[in-house]
Amino acid sequence: MTRLALSMDESVLERARRQAVSRKTSISKLFVSVICMLEQEDDRSQTLPPVTRQLGGLLRSENGSDADCRRLLDEYRMERYGAL
């Protein structure tokens, strides 16, 4: 297994620790599960019909960036479903 060092704000690290404890897992396993979840999400989005993919573009913030909407959706999914 390969080791990886990540840099993040202390607040994010504390949130990761809380999530790992609540799921009875390590931060490393939590990270792996998030990456797997993102890959599954990408796979699902590739199989969406073209109209559905185009409608997904409607989820944009006023400044034209969908980063805030995606972040909110990701937070909701993590709260609702947890890491896969």
Domain boundaries, the chain: 11-81
Tokens standing for residue 42: 């990408």
pTM for the whole thing?
Answer: 0.48
- Amino acid 21 reads V
On the question of pLDDT at 44 being above 70, the answer is no
Model confidence pLDDT, tens digit, residues 4-19? 898 999 999 999 999 9
User: At 81, is the secondary structure helix, strand, or coil?
Assistant: helix
Rounded CA-CA distance 42/46 in Å is: 6
Least confident window among 7-16, 18-27, 53-62, 66-75: 53-62
